[in-house]
Amino acid sequence: MNAQYPLWELLGRPSGFGAPEHTATHARGTRIRFADDRWRLCATSGLWNANLGYGNQRIADAVGTALIDHSYLSLFRGGHSPAVKAARALLEVCGDDHYGRVLFTTSGGSANDAAMKMARQYWALRRSFRRRVIVGLRGSYHGLTYGSHGLTGESLAQSYYSVDQRWIRHVDHRGAGELTELLASEGESVAAVVVEPVLGTGAYPLTPDMVADLLRLRREHGFLLVADEVATGFGRTGPYFASQEWPEPPDILLASKGLTNGTCAAAAVVASAEVLSVFNRADASLIHAETQAGSPTTCAAITAVAGEMERLDALQNGKRVSVGLDRLLDSIGGHPLVRSTGGTGCFRAIRLHTSDKVTAATAVDMIHAAGAVVSPGPDCVQLAPALVYEPDDLEELEHALRTGLDETAERSS
């Protein structure tokens, strides 16, 4: 038998593969058990996915029933009733007065790929063939498929993998100056501007002024505005979707992660009635399809999540968790290693004074050892607790954060 560790762990180095303290064996509620036989508090919602906590029985039952009643059905050249039901449920929470149709995909990365195709085809159908440029924000994260890897504004070895970025541009997220300059020179070539309402890398919310400028520039230059809400959807920042607090909605909205509470590989591209009208008039096919996109199990999970969000009053409870995070971060903010804190809702970051001895990865490891699972960002520790956190969870999180930061500081001295 080959004795080599069989699993290629994502974004990790082979030297760290198989570590018991990082090998999960069970998950329940807001906690994860690892192979070192320790339960740890999850403060990431499983990478922004399990907004309702782990092991939700109603979601599991819905998926199990779909396995028996439907097994596998595809959306290639047809539909099926679980997908129609899920699409209607999603349109209802997105706002069916503005959005009209849902394209299911299997990941946030593939949703970004599909949205870029949709935007470029939209303009081609309108005979504006020059509009092929897609603009993203510097420091953004949209995925690691080839299209979304190119759109991602964080430096993640795009040149090493020969990712094609010839039709991609990146501008500053802190203000509209660079975007205004770009549109002045290339506005007639820009098909869409894609933004995360809160940049997933570092938890930087777009300011109200930036949003207002995006909407004004859309009116002036006519590009499509895409809100990548893969991380911010399903109550993560307060409302169902962060862009629902914008003065005007985007033309295309992307959802994933919380869409199925992380139970199935799923994402959705939600298109406005205006975008659909162009495809409908031309009776045009969008050439994007994935074998597992919109499978019955996935769609059953989506419909169940919509019901559970309401039954658990998740949006309101998430606001209570957000208030608790305000207090927690105010307390942690005085720690010697903490430079600042940021983010919004249940999407936060603790920004660190880093050095050769103090890195975000080290702090994350020390917090993990102290009993909480958090995520690293550039010079920061990222927090994304479940919307169903209780006050005791927040107290436990604060203890683990403080202990982990203290240990990080001690090791660096």
Query: Are the CB atoms for 349 and 383 separated by under 8 Å?
Result: yes
**Reading across the β-sheet that carries 224-228, which strands appear in turn?**
99-105, 267-272, 252-255, 224-228, 190-195, 133-137, 168-171
Radius of gyration of the chain (CA): 21
Half-sphere exposure of 353 (CA within 13 A, CB side): 11
Query: What structural domains does the chain harbor?
Result: 14-56+313-412 (3.90.1150.10), 57-311 (3.40.640.10)
Residue matched to tokens 């740890």: 40
Residue 177's contacts (CB-CB under 8 Å, 6 or more residues apart) are none
pTM tops 0.85: yes
Distance CA 15, CA 342 (A): 33
Strand order in the sheet with 375-377: 338-344, 347-352, 380-383, 375-377
Q: Which two tokens mark 95?
A: 């706002």
pLDDT in tens, the chain (413 residues): 678 999 999 999 999 999 999 999 999 999 999 999 999 999 999 999 999 999 999 999 999 999 999 999 999 999 999 999 999 999 999 999 999 999 999 999 999 999 999 999 999 999 999 999 999 999 999 999 999 999 999 999 999 999 999 999 999 999 999 999 999 999 999 999 999 999 988 899 999 999 999 999 999 999 999 999 999 999 999 999 999 999 999 999 999 999 999 999 999 999 999 999 999 999 999 999 999 999 999 999 999 999 999 999 999 999 999 999 999 999 999 999 999 999 999 999 999 999 988 899 999 999 999 999 999 998 999 999 999 999 999 999 999 999 999 999 998 87
Question: Of 130, 223, 114, nearest to 171 (Cα)?
Answer: 223
